[in-house]
Amino acid sequence: MAKRTVVTMPGDGIGKTVLPAAIRVLDAVGFDAEYVHADIGWDFWCKEGNPLPQRTLDLLQEHKISLFGAITSKPKTEALEELAPELHDKGYVYFSPIVGLRQHFGLDICARPCKSFVGNPLNFIRKGPKDTIEEPEVDVVVFRQNTEGLYGGVEWTNPSEQVHAAMMTHPQFAKNFGWCPKEELAISTRIFTKKYSERIIRAAFEYAQKFGYERVTLCEKPNVLRETSGMMLAICREVEKEYKHIWFDYSNIDAQMMWLTKDPEKYGVIIAGNMFGDIVSDGFAGLIGGLGFACSANVGEEVAIFEPTHGSAPKYEDLNPSIVNPIAMILSACMMLDHIGETEKAQQIRTAVATVVEEGKVRAYDMLKLRGCQEVIEQGAATTDQMADAIIAAL
Ligand code: NAI
Ligand code: MG
C-alpha cells in the first residue's frame, strides 16, 4: 500500500508537545506515514494577519488527512494589539482557525467518543444503595453537527434595516422585540439544513450499527426549538425505521445534563446539533477523565481532521519538560487510524493506553489530581514524553 501522507498542525501551546508524542506512538505501532507540517495558529495571526494561511488549506486539500494539536484564540482587542504593527489598519480580523477549517472543508460530522478506562482515577463515581460506591462504565460517542446551528456565524449586532425589516415580519419578533432600537439588538441565528442534519443523523446510526451500540439518543430541545430541533427529531424518526434493532429515543439538553451523572452508563450514541453537541460532549468527557482523555474527529466529504478537544493550555506551554497528558491526542490519532482503515493498529494503541492506565505506574499530573506546575514531576507525575513512552512500551 502506498505510504500515507498526514498533514500535521501542532498549532499553539501544548499542541506542540502532544502532537509529536502521538506521532512517536504511531511510529511505534508501525504506521508507515509521511508527515507534512502545516502552519496554523496565533503566531501566524500576529505575523501574517491570518491564523489559517492559504498554504495550509492547500496542503489539507492535497492530502485530506490531518492531525491537529490546538490553537490559542484571544479576545478582539488583544488580537489587534498583538498583530504586527505594519498590518494594523489593513482590515485584518481574527477568526478561529478551527471553526474556519470546519467551515472551509465542510467538516460537518464531529465524533467525540467518551469511554472510561478501567482504573482511571478520574473516572466518575457515585453513591449507590446503602452508601456503596459505584463506578459506572461510560461508553458514549457523541455525534455533533459541526458546521451549522448557533455556531454557523450568521449573526449581527445592530443589524441592517433589511435584516431588521425581515425579522419584523415574524410575529414573535414584532411582539417581543419590536420595541428594541436596532442599535441595541444582537442576533445570533440557529440555522439547520435538512441535508446536513440528515448526514449527522445517518453517520450516528451507521456508527451505532457498525460498532454494536444498542441505543441512539437525539439530544436537542424539540419542545422549545420546534423548527430546528423539531426537524432533527422528524429526520431521526424516518432514519430510525432503517435500523430496526437500534433503540432510538430523545432527550432535552437540559435534562440530559442531569441524566449525565445519574445514569451515564445507559447511553450509547448521542446525536446533537452544534452547540448542544459541544456541551453534551464536554459533559460526558468530564465523566471519563476530562480534557486529558477527550478525543475527536472532524469529518467531511473529503477532508478529515483529528484533534483532542482541549485547547492550547497557555499556562503550561512554557514548562519544560511538558507535563500535560498526551492521551487525548493519542486517542485522536487512533480515530485517524480507524478512519483510514487501520483499525487493528488503532485497537493496539487503545489497548496499550488501557494497560498503562490500569497499571497505574505512570500517570500524568491530571490523573494524580495535582495542580499543574513543574513541581508535579517531583511529586511523581509523568511528563508528556514519559506517558508516551509508557504507552509505546505497552504496545
Ligand atoms: P484548555 O483546554 O487549553 O485548558 C484548560 C485546562 O485544562 C488547562 O489549564 C489544564 O488544566 C487542562 N488541560 C487541557 N489540556 C490538558 C491535557 N492535555 N492534559 C492535562 N490537562 C489539560 O482551555 P482554555 O484554558 O479555556 O483555553 C486556552 C486556549 O486554548 C484559549 O486561547 C482557547 O481559545 C484555546 N482553545 C482552543 C481549542 C482548540 O484548539 N480546539 C479548544 C479550546 C480552547
Ligand atoms: Mg467545546
Residue 72 to residue 14: CA distance in whole angstroms: 10
Residue 142 to residue 267: CA distance in whole angstroms: 10
For the cut 80, the answer to whether the pLDDT of residue 2 exceeds it is no
Tell me: the pLDDT tens digits for 301-334? Answer: 999 999 999 999 999 999 999 999 999 999 999 9
The proportion of the chain whose per-residue pLDDT surpasses 90, expressed as a percent, equals 96
Residue 304 to residue 294: CA distance in whole angstroms: 17
Residue 150: what pLDDT? 95
Beta-strand relationship, 126-127 and 33-37: unpaired
Residue 122: what pLDDT? 98
Tell me: the pLDDT tens digits for 39-75? Answer: 999 999 999 999 999 999 999 999 999 999 999 999 8
Residue 376 to residue 19: CA distance in whole angstroms: 21
Residue 7: what pLDDT? 98
Number of Cβ within a 10 Å radius of residue 300: 19
Calculate mean pLDDT across residues 68-91: 93
Across the chain, mean pLDDT equals 96
* Residue located nearest, by CA, to atom 4 of ligand 1: 313
Ligand located closest to 70 CA: 1
pLDDT band of 153, cuts 50, 70, 90: confident
**Ligand 1 atom, smallest distance to 15 CA:** 40
First to last CA, the chain: 23
Tell me: the pLDDT tens digits for 100-115? Answer: 999 899 999 999 999 9
Residues with CB under 6 Å of ligand 1 are 14, 18, 70-73, 98, 291-292, 307, 310-315, 324-325, 328, 366, 372
Tell me: the pLDDT tens digits for 380-395? Answer: 999 999 999 999 999 9
* Residue located nearest, by CA, to atom 6 of ligand 1: 313
* Residue located nearest, by CA, to atom 40 of ligand 1: 70
Residue 1: what pLDDT? 59
Calculate mean pLDDT across residues 356-376: 97
Residue 77: what pLDDT? 87
Calculate mean pLDDT across residues 208-236: 97
Residue 364: what pLDDT? 98
Residue 290: what pLDDT? 96
Residue 258: what pLDDT? 94
Residue 75: what pLDDT? 85
pTM of the model: 0.95
Count the alpha carbons within 13 Å of 123 in the hemisphere toward its beta carbon.
Answer: 20
Ligand located closest to 294 CA: 1
For the cut 70, the answer to whether the pLDDT of residue 371 exceeds it is yes
Residue 159 to residue 291: CA distance in whole angstroms: 37
Question: Which architecture does CATH list for 1-110+297-395?
Answer: 3-Layer(aba) Sandwich (3.40)
Alpha carbon of 307 to ligand 2 centroid (Å): 12
Three-state SS string across the chain, please?
A: CCCEEEEEEEECCCHHHHHHHHHHHHHHCCCCEEEEECCCCHHHHHHHCCCCCHHHHHHHHHHCEEEEEECCCCCHHHHHHHCCHHHCCCCCCCCCHHHHHHHHCCCCEEEEEEECCCCCCCCCCEECHHHCEECCCCEEEEEEECCCECCCCCEEECCCHHHHHHHHCCHHHHHHHCCCCHHHCEEECCECCHHHHHHHHHHHHHHHHHCCCCEEEEEECCCCCCCHHHHHHHHHHHHHCCCCCCEEEEEEHHHHHHHHHHCHHHCCEEEECHHHHHHHHHHHHHHCCHHHCCEEEEECCCCEEEEECCCCCHHHCCCCCCCCCCHHHHHHHHHHHHHCCCHHHHHHHHHHHHHHHHHCCCCCCCCCCCCCCHHHHCCCCCCHHHHHHHHHHHC
Residue 24: what pLDDT? 98
